[in-house]
């Protein structure tokens, strides 16, 4: 323990972990060892792994308070708010005046949505620290979330007053903007917000936070001109501030004027003649997808910095990987003195060589030594996604955001992955973080936000999101489509159709095909497929070369049961556009309806190759493969869906079933079935989970799961049959007979013959 203390005193937390594990193997109940292991794991960026050690330490009188405080912090990092509240409450039971614990509990209540309790704790904090900026900020946030808007307005005004009177540059810019951001986000009083933003811009024209947030505000209001003007004025007012020039370049690039952005950075290079300015230019070229120019800029950084240290060589190798020059990058990795840099580069090289398993192992090694490296966490998340391990991917991407929300595309990826998994509130939160980061794909992020709000049934906010989408350059059509989706969810398909018709776009224009498709969907949902077909026929008559219109026509004809005509329309679409994935999928559907399974599988595979973003094509191909007896082909296709679509419960369920049915990889089958059940707790998926547990010999768990499935889907003879099997094997013949008899009495089902045989064996 003396050695551990010495290591931790000088910040060598990684080195202390193995020592502590050895100590705990010998003396598992030593509180200091548990506490220090928790500290080391938190300090090395693994708060989730620290939990058990801190919980153990918190059981002792000596470490109850420090361990519980750190435990609350670890739970906060993992966004486990209920556990955060419990840990902080343990501290307050022992020491009711411990303000850090009270703050941690208030924040936990806020995160968990227990706003009355959060407000109670926030008031106590404010009484103890009446002029404290951060305490006032917490109080104001709780009031706003609780809907106490008048009080929240006053609290945000207090934040501003405290910040401006305190003279602390680290908070005065934020405090000035607080009422403006509150007026925008909670009051939705954009005119008042604009007045307050303009006041802060006048007061702090070159303040980094003020400039960044005001630019974002004007962008969201659709006033890109004013946004550019604010940041240009800041650059003119502080020409020595390289960071402001970088913001201006980012603003111009984000608005689509890459040429002007490049010019700003070239002028910075000329003015500063520094490695930092060239490094900004290199970063710009990388983001713009111009690695050759980025490499030239990095070489200039090397020159100006005297040959470049490991960090610059690391960046050079990173750019070489962008260029696909993996051997040169690998050579640089072998020359670096810092082993962590080398490991991370080799991980990225492995990822480029389509070896995500090796990549993840190398990233793990790098992260152990550099836990707060946002880039490494992001790449580890991407490798985990490629392996189909969405839980690990989400964990790593969250850590990337925590380490540096601006450094990588982790917020964008998280928003998409969490949406696919049905975690709409979190998807919304990370999508907003991505927008704050200045992501280039603003339209797609706002679409995702609107769809998340629809799923959460927050229709007024969703309509506001559509308005924001419409203000973006090129966002008008998508805004109209998404508004139709909102209105259909809120009021029904007739409202969705009216929203499209009120948008003012010409549905006959090829540029508006998304709108035509949406309009057709609304009509079809209202049972008016014939009306939709007549409109599509008019579009084709006016423009007989539109592949998308023929594909739409085919889809409507399938709905109407006119398969021969549908096939002809789909074929015409593929002739006009051989890469029209939906048309190939339409042909696959017609083939499947004609029981031509081999053709249907091949056509769905073709559609999946052409459109890798749509899960329906490879999933349908996998299902048809299995139905036609090709279990190997089905397994391969299901694995591709699992890897590519983190929220696809069906593929996980079906793959788990195949593995269990074949009696192989049962650990993987259980993991897949449990993940499918978390995504979609339907009776069919409970049935699969129970079947997997039965195959693993976990009879008690299998029976409990299958009983839940029977309760939810009592009319299913197949589920009753499997429950009967499990009861029989567990030594409960009476209940097994009851289940099998009730299954057989239901009539024909796929396992009926097996059920009769099993029942015959149970007869006395």
Residue 499 has pLDDT above 90, yes or no: yes
DSSP states of 38-67: HHHHHHTT-HHHHHHHHHHHHTSTTTHHHH
What does the mean pLDDT of the chain come to?
Answer: 90
pLDDT confidence tier of residue 664, bands split at 50, 70 and 90 = confident
Give the span between the Cα atoms of 181 and 463, in whole angstroms.
Answer: 20
Q: In Å, how far are 78, 90, 381, 698 from 399, measured between CA atoms? A: 9, 27, 9, 35
For residue 454, what are the contacts with CB-CB under 8 A and spacing of at least 6?
462, 485, 486, 489
Residue 651 and residue 616 in contact, taking contact as beta carbons nearer than 8 Å? no
Q: What is the mean pLDDT of residues 170-176?
A: 91
What is the tens place of the pLDDT at every residue in 194-246? 999 999 999 999 988 999 999 989 988 888 889 999 999 999 999 988 889 98
More confident residue, 338 or 720: 720
Exposed, middle or buried: residue 715 (CB in 10 Å: 0-12, 13-18, 19+)? exposed
Superfamily of domain covering 528-647? Tetratricopeptide repeat domain (1.25.40.10)
Whether 453 contacts 487, CB under 8 Å: no
- Is pLDDT above 70 for 60? yes
Residue 289 pLDDT exceeds 90: no
Residue 48: pLDDT over 80: no
Give the integer Cα–Cα distance in Å for 191 and 420: 36
* Dist CA 491 CA 498 (whole Å): 11
**Tell me, what DSSP letter sits at residue 629?**
T
- Check: CB of residue 197 under 8 Å from CB of residue 214: yes
Residue-wise pLDDT for 404-425, tens only, equals: 877 788 999 999 999 998 899 9
What pLDDT is recorded for position 18? 84
Average pLDDT of the segment spanning 12-36: 89
Residue 304: which pLDDT band, with cuts at 50, 70 and 90? Answer: confident
Cβ atoms of 606 and 584 closer than 8 Å: yes
405 vs 106, residue with greater confidence: 106
**Mean pLDDT score, 420-446:** 86
User: Of 384-393, 436-445, 531-540, 712-721, where does mean pLDDT reach its minimum?
Assistant: 436-445
Per residue in 338-389, pLDDT (tens digit) is 788 899 999 999 999 999 999 999 999 888 877 778 889 999 999 999 988 8
Per residue in 124-142, pLDDT (tens digit) is 999 999 999 999 999 999 9
CA dist., res. 109 & res. 690, Å (int): 36
Query: For residue 307, what pLDDT is reported?
Result: 65
Domain range summary for the chain, segments of one domain joined by +: 528-647
Contact 163, 171 (CB under 8 A): yes
Looking up tokens 């308070």 gives 65
Does the structure show a pLDDT above 70 at 623?
yes
Does the pLDDT of residue 402 top 70, yes or no? yes
Phi then psi for residue 38, to 5 deg, are -60, -45
Predicted confidence at residue 308, as pLDDT, reads 63
Rounded to whole angstroms, the Cα distance separating 297 from 582 reads: 43
Q: Please answer whether residues 684 and 660 qualify as being in contact, where contact means their C-beta atoms are separated by less than 8 angstroms.
A: no
pTM for this prediction? 0.68
């Amino acid at each position: 323990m003396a050695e551990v203390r010495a290591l931790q005193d000088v910040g060598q937390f990684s080195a202390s972990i193995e020592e502590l594990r050895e100590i705990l193997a010998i003396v598992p109940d030593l509180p200091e060892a548990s506490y220090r292991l928790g500290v080391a794991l938190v300090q090395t960026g693994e708060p989730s792994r620290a939990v058990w050690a801190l919980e153990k330490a918190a059981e002792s009188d000596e470490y109850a308070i420090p361990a519980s405080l750190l435990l609350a912090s670890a739970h906060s990092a993992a966004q486990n708010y209920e556990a955060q509240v419990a840990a902080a409450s343990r501290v307050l039971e022992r020491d009711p005046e411990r303000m850090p614990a009270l703050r941690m509990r208030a924040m936990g209540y806020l995160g968990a949505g227990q706003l009355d309790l959060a407000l109670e704790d926030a008031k106590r904090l404010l009484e103890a620290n009446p002029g404290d900026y951060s305490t006032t900020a917490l109080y104001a946030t709780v009031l706003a979330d609780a809907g106490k808007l008048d009080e929240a307005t006053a609290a945000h005004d207090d934040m501003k007053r405290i910040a401006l009177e305190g003279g602390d540059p680290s908070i005065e810019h934020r405090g000035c903007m607080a009422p403006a951001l509150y007026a925008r986000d909670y009051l939705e009083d954009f005119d008042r917000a604009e007045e307050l933003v303009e006041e802060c811009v006048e007061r702090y024209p070159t303040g980094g936070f003020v400039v960044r947030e005001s630019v974002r505000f004007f962008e969201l209001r659709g006033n890109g001109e004013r946004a550019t003007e604010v940041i240009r004025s800041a650059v003119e007012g502080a020409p020595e501030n390289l960071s402001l020039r970088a913001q201006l370049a980012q603003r111009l690039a984000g608005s689509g004027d890459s040429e002007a952005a490049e010019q700003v950075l070239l002028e910075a290079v000329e003015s500063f003649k520094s490695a930092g300015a060239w490094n900004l230019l290199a970063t710009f070229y990388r983001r713009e997808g111009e690695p050759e120019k980025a490499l030239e800029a990095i070489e200039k950084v090397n020159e100006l910095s005297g040959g470049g240290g490991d960090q610059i060589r690391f960046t050079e190798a990173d750019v070489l990987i962008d260029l696909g020059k993996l051997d040169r990058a690998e050579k640089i990795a072998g020359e670096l003195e810092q082993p962590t840099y080398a490991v991370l580069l080799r991980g990225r090289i492995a990822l480029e060589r389509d070896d995500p398993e090796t990549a993840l192992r190398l990233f793990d090694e790098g992260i152990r030594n550099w836990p707060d490296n946002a880039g490494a966490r992001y790449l580890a998340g991407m490798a985990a996604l490629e392996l189909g391990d969405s839980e690990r991917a989400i964990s790593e991407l969250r850590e990337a955001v925590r380490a540096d929300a601006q450094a990588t595309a982790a917020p964008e990826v998280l928003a998409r992955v969490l949406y696919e998994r049905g975690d709409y509130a979190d998807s919304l939160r990370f999508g907003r973080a991505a927008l704050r980061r200045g992501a280039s794909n603003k339209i797609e992020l706002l679409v995702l936000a609107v769809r998340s709000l629809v799923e959460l049934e927050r229709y007024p906010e969703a309509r506001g999101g559509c308005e924001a989408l419409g203000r973006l350059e090129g966002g008008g059509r998508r805004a109209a489509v998404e508004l139709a989706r909102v209105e259909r969810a809120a009021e029904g398909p007739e409202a969705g159709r009216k929203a499209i018709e009120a948008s003012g776009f010409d549905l006959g224009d090829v540029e508006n095909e998304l709108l035509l498709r949406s309009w057709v969907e609304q009509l079809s949902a209202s049972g008016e497929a014939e009306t939709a077909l007549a409109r599509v026929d008019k579009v084709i008559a006016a423009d007989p070369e539109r592949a998308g219109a023929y594909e739409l026509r085919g889809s409507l004809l399938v709905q109407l049961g006119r398969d021969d005509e549908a096939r002809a329309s789909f074929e015409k679409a593929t002739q006009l556009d051989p890469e029209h994935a939906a048309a190939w999928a339409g042909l696959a559907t017609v083939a499947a309806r004609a029981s031509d399974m081999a053709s249907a599988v091949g056509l769905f595979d073709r559609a999946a190759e052409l459109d890798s973003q749509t899960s329906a094509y490879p999933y349908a191909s996998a299902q048809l493969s299995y139905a036609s007896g090709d279990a190997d082909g089905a397994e391969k296709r299901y694995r591709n869906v699992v890897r590519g679509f983190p929220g696809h419960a069906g593929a996980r369920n079906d793959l788990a079933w195949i593995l269990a049915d074949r009696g192989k990889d049962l650990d993987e089958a259980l993991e897949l079935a449990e993940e499918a059940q978390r995504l979609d707790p339907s009776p069919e998926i409970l049935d699969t989970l129970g079947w997997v547990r039965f195959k693993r010999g976990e009879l008690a768990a299998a029976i409990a799961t299958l009983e839940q499935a029977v309760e939810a889907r009592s009319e299913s003879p197949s589920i009753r049959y499997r429950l009967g099997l499990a009861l029989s094997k567990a030594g409960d013949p009476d209940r097994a007979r009851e289940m099998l008899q009730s299954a057989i009495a239901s009539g024909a089902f796929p396992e009926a013959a097996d059920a009769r045989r099993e029942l015959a064996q149970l007869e006395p």
